[in-house]
Structure 1
Amino acid sequence: MRILFPLGAALLVAGAVQAQEARRTYANPIDIDYRYNFEQVNQGISYRTGADPAIVTHKGRYYLFQTLADGYWSSSDLVHWTFVTPSRWPFNSIVAPAVWSDGTRILIQPSMTRAESILSTSDPDGGKLDFFVRRMPDLVDSVGEGHVPAPGEDKVPPGPWDPALFKDEDGKWYMYWGSSNVFPLYGIEIAFEDGKLVYKGKPRPMLALQPERHGWERFGQDHSGTLPDGTPIKPFMEGAWMTKAGGRYYLQYGAPGTEYNAYANGTYVSDKPLGPFEYAPWNPVAYKPGGFVQGAGHGSTFQDVSGNWWNTGTPWIGYNWTFERRIGMWPAKFWADGQMSVSTRFGDFPHYAPTTKVEDPESLFTGWMLLSYRKAAVASSTMGEFAADRVTDENPRTFWVAGANRPGETLTVDLGAAKTLRAVQVNFADYKSGRFGDAPDIYTEFALQSSLDGKRWRPLARTEPPRRDRPNAYFQLPVPVEARYVRYVHEHVGGSNLAISDLRVFGSAGGKAPAMPGGVAAKRDGDARNAHVAWKPVKGAVGYNVLWGVRPDRLTLAYQRWADQGPALELRALNTGVDYWVAVEAFDENGVSRRTRPVRIN
């Protein structure tokens, strides 16, 4: 039977859909078909992972390369990504690649400890790759003059590992590299001559970690400096990336290590591509130790077609192996006075992907709040201790496992009352998957349903062709939906088990935003790298953002805390000899409170 709508109503619906389409959103971890990796295959473990993202803008499109992907991704809007299978790929795949677009072609250089190739493509969407340099020359093993000496060494380690390529405006090329808790990060001028890479001079040390002065460079959970068993460990520096902005050179690096929540990006700044470089007192620039997505280190910085800056990084999962990870993307900014900042405030909630120039990166936050935290959940079946309530704890290392991986299994979250839904993210986990990346059935299919009473259900969203794997599937709803219950209805996943770490629902509860926190106090302890921040709890708050920075009017760093963690934070990411200010805001399912007046950390 044909259903007729009044013309006015039809236009209103069409207009609402077009308005939503005009402002597309995304949520971290980004929604791509992460590949199965097998670092622990001898233990029979396989899992999806992504790390060390390098995104470049090339001829109006975006291309994403990462570790061990056997290809790369293409996008026109930074929201929808399509995997490209290349015509050729290194036999050892690619780890932490250097990627650069010179406007004509994209160069792709893998990390290497022996002579390998650099590839190029002038048709990245077609996947045709050619050899640009068939065989890299050996690095000059002695160190050239530099302002940072190699710690106890005068020889360059095998490499370049974790390389970065950079072409300056004068046409000169440079390479930066390093991944070690002993050696510094190096740089050298290079040239491409007759299909060969030529080193101009000797490698020069660029920078080294100083965890005794830079609190955020300490390894471990919240910069504890130790492994879980208490063993001290020296932090790692890796992931070089060079960006030129406002006439300044920003040599970026990841530290203190990809494990745990404290992985971050920092930068040194110079007016020359090979320095000398000066440590930026407002480091780290990209930092996300709290929330669902934790860790923001080792990535890339790029400018979109509208002139907005972005920074990418490698959030940590670490269930199957310590190097199980995903990819995050956050809006960035270069201030007129030279400061670089990356906005990770609500950095795993839905954000707009801009289509015009945006001056304030924080304005890209949609305001859609998390509705599912600690809410009740039930499942059609459960394997052992992997209960359904784990899908609302905002922890990617805990998950529900269905009794069987079969179509029709369901997982239902009760939001407690009717709410306005705007987006849903379904995050899958790998539990004893035992699958291989070239298996023919590695794809994800499921449906989402909503209900006001838990009895009558209606379609909410579903996966659509073409088939692909979606370990972190994100759905922006075309129009707001009123519902109390959200149900996942299973069809297919490629892993051996159906496992979901978190079913995250975003929107609004329709009430007033929470009150502003009071009583904010902040004090450094005897170790100036640490500070203790406390505030009075806000009734009904779901969580808080602790915001700090080197200026009271520029609080560029954020640490998200859940209300059930208590109204206090030990902040261990400060630089010695630098003054800081801190403020706190509360959030719940209705919105975000006013930010407190900045307080100096004494």
Structure 2
Amino acid sequence: MRWSRLALITLVATAPLGAAQRTTINPVDLDYRYNFEQINDGASYRTGADPAIVNHRGTYYLFQTLADGYWRSTDLRQWRFVTPSRWPMHSIVAPALWSDGEKIVIQPSMMEPGSVLMSSDPDHGRIDFLAREMPPLPGSVNKDPKDMKPGEVPPGPWDPALFKDDDGQWYLYWGSSNIFPMYGQKIGFADGRMSYQTRAEPMLSLHPDVHGWERFGQDHCACWSPGRPSPSYMEGAWMTKVGGTYYLQYGAPGTEFNAYANGVYTASSPLGPFTYAPYNPVAYRPGGYAEGAGHGSTFRDNHGNWWNSGTSWIGYNWGMERRVVIHPVRFYPDGQMSASTRFGDWPRLVPAGKVDDPDRLFPGWMLLSYRKRVTASSTLAGFGTAAVSDEDPRSFWVAARNRPGETLTMDLGQVATLRAVQVNFADYKSGRFADAPDIYTEFRLDSSPDGRRWTPLARTEAPRRDRPNAYFELPRPVRARFVRYVHGHVGGKNLAIAELRLFGAAPGRAPSAPSNVAAERHADDRDATIRWPRVAGATGYNIRFGIRPDRLTLTHQLWADELGAGASLAKELRSLNHGVPYYAAVEAFNETGVGPLSAVVPVR
């Protein structure tokens, strides 16, 4: 889609007058907590797992795994960590959240009876018990799966989701397994207790043999022997009701790969029967810097817009190391649910009103930093500066010394217009804990048109906090060729930066539309290959596809240099649903802008 200047100005003008920041970015700029675990020779990592977000009385609250607290936001741009004044239990894992307008109910994951929490004053961190002890899960047994009898269920509820229907009835959904299904049941709260009002019944299961995107592994590439369980995992339940339809969401096929996504089954009643949505997955981002979008929540903002949270894959210190991402969601009139992940880790406008098309939230600020030359004041052997501009969170530069004044300088090769900067730090042999007093981030950014005359560009400000994915929207456009990071402090043992990402516009023209796009479905129709001629001046491409020619809801972003050097380009998609018709198109982009979408072709 080619942006018109008038359309962009109109959308930007919806931001409040004088607002310091109108955009946000993925991964979300949180002060992620260091995990309590020490792994890989004593290293630790920041955790961003299993984000659950609710809108409670016009304020947004984000809980996640092992955070010893939660985050609060009034605008979906800035998030402030809340340390509970009363935390009745040890840190929680994969919590369920629900706001009933009076309180937030917090259901931790558990494998045996535990407590359900609540807060009627989340702004001040007051956490209390709603139910001090849950009764044993009916039918729960801890057996080898092959020894389980009909009606028996595994211990739980693990990875739970809470839902309160319009009639006041509560429901619980849960499950995290490559063997067992997701379960659902009626529950109730009364007199400080929780009760199971029905037995747990299966709601949905994975079927990677027919749902290509549910296959495990990088780009859904894993295979397994016949007769053995698939390694694909189903987890991360969440329920949303829109227009009388119940959307039961789940994450699959595994958090430690780029293809982690959210899917949905729908029903006309909260316990089903549920029907698989042929347009799945609903939140999918296998390419780009923040790869992955699975295991999260769906919530509505104060303007009536919908959003879906999930996690993106870092996977350096531990395979499941990750960060939080949030994507805008659209519910079409016919009920289709879709999260927009197109340019999903580039700056995105936060709407000040209702927006019908989430793609309009992309302001057209292009990535300027890919594969640009970077120099540093010092470098630890084996961790060179090329990693800072390769759009890979699992590679990073490490300074020879973690001390104030270390610098990292990027040369864009020409003067360009800067609009935003994101600095993504990495954890290399950190060995830290969340309660250490020196875990905070301080640095400044300078810019220069020629590498000699430098002016301030941005800097961290009080109050001090950790900023592993620091983001700065510049208050006005800045013309520069060079950007310099000047170090102050990080809480980790080493100064390590995975990516210095610059956004704006370079002089020139956007690429033309790809011609002669062809899409071939394989004999295994979960797979297809998309082919198109290389477009002059393009640095990357978006393959856009979906089950209707006018609704290409899924995107796979690719860089031109990762597709080889030939004149003809091709990419295999392995995320299709068996027996479902698909359509595809390709758009090219560069540092100037996005070219027109190609002709839409059937995937045959």
The answer, yes or no, to whether TM exceeds 0.5 is: yes
- Per-residue CA deviations over 1:475-501 (Å, capped at 9, x if unaligned) read 000000000000000000000000000
Match of 2:133 among 123, 132, 135: 135
Match of 2:397 among 389, 400, 407: 400
SS in 2 for 1:202: coil
- Structure 2 CA distance for partners of 1:418 and 1:253, relative to 1, 3 Å: same
Q: Distance in 1 between matches of 2:170 and 2:222?
A: 37
| Matched residue, 2:10 | none
CA shift for structure 1 position 151: 9.6
Q: Distance in 2 between matches of 1:151 and 1:298?
A: 27
Q: In structure 1, give the amino acid aligned to 2:575.
A: A
Conserved 8 A contact 2:515-2:599: no
* Structure 1, gaps ≥5 residues long: 1-14, 144-148
| Matched residue, 2:171 | 174
Conserved 8 A contact 2:15-2:352: no
- Per-residue CA deviations over 1:282-324 (Å, capped at 9, x if unaligned) read 0000000000010000000000000000001011110001111
Q: Does 1:196 align with 2:193?
A: yes
Conserved 8 A contact 1:23-1:353: no
Conserved 8 A contact 1:449-1:487: yes
- Structure 2 CA distance for partners of 1:379 and 1:130, relative to 1, 3 Å: same
Q: In structure 2, give the amino acid aligned to 1:590.
A: T
Q: Does 1:75 align with 2:105?
A: no
| Matched residue, 1:598 | 600
| Matched residue, 2:204 | 207
Conserved 8 A contact 1:442-1:468: yes
Match of 1:420 among 409, 414, 417: 417
SS in 1 for 2:199: strand
Q: In structure 1, give the amino acid aligned to 2:518.
A: A
Q: Distance in 1 between matches of 2:40 and 2:489?
A: 26
- Structure 2 CA distance for partners of 1:153 and 1:375, relative to 1, 3 Å: farther
| Matched residue, 1:336 | 333
CA shift for structure 1 position 393: 0.1
Q: In structure 1, give the amino acid aligned to 2:207.
A: Q
Q: TM-score, with normalisation over the residues of structure 2? A: 0.94
Q: Distance in 2 between matches of 1:88 and 1:411?
A: 42
Q: Distance in 2 between matches of 1:226 and 1:326?
A: 27
Match of 1:101 among 94, 99, 102: 99
| Matched residue, 1:551 | 548
Q: Does 1:451 align with 2:448?
A: yes
| Matched residue, 1:57 | 55
Q: Does 1:271 align with 2:268?
A: yes
Conserved 8 A contact 2:417-2:505: yes
CA shift for structure 1 position 519: 1.6
Q: Which moved more, 1:560-569 or 1:451-460?
A: 560-569
Q: In structure 1, give the amino acid aligned to 2:334.
A: D
Q: In structure 1, give the amino acid aligned to 2:374.
A: A
Q: TM-score, with normalisation over the residues of structure 1? A: 0.94
* Structure 2, gaps ≥5 residues long: 1-12, 564-568
| Matched residue, 1:582 | 584
CA shift for structure 1 position 19: 5.1
| Matched residue, 1:440 | 437
How much is the aligned-residue C-alpha RMSD, in angstroms? Answer: 1.9
- Per-residue CA deviations over 1:54-89 (Å, capped at 9, x if unaligned) read 010011110000011000000010010000001233
SS in 2 for 1:216: helix
Match of 2:471 among 468, 471, 474: 474
SS in 2 for 1:327: strand
Q: Distance in 2 between matches of 1:64 and 1:207?
A: 26
CA shift for structure 1 position 39: 3.2
- Structure 2 CA distance for partners of 1:412 and 1:57, relative to 1, 3 Å: same
- Per-residue CA deviations over 1:316-335 (Å, capped at 9, x if unaligned) read 11000111100000000111
| Matched residue, 1:8 | none
| Matched residue, 2:109 | 111
| Matched residue, 1:508 | 505
Match of 2:352 among 328, 333, 355: 355
Match of 1:43 among 29, 41, 44: 41
SS in 1 for 2:213: helix
Percent identity reads 65
Q: Distance in 2 between matches of 1:348 and 1:152?
A: 46
Q: Does 1:257 align with 2:259?
A: no
CA shift for structure 1 position 23: 6.4
Match of 1:27 among 12, 18, 25: 25
Aligned length: 580
CA shift for structure 1 position 436: 1.5
CA shift for structure 1 position 154: 3.7
Q: Does 1:218 align with 2:220?
A: no
Conserved 8 A contact 1:23-1:354: no
SS in 2 for 1:421: strand
- Structure 2 CA distance for partners of 1:403 and 1:142, relative to 1, 3 Å: closer
Q: Does 1:305 align with 2:302?
A: yes
Q: In structure 1, give the amino acid aligned to 2:274.
A: F
SS in 2 for 1:362: helix
Q: In structure 2, give the amino acid aligned to 1:296.
A: A
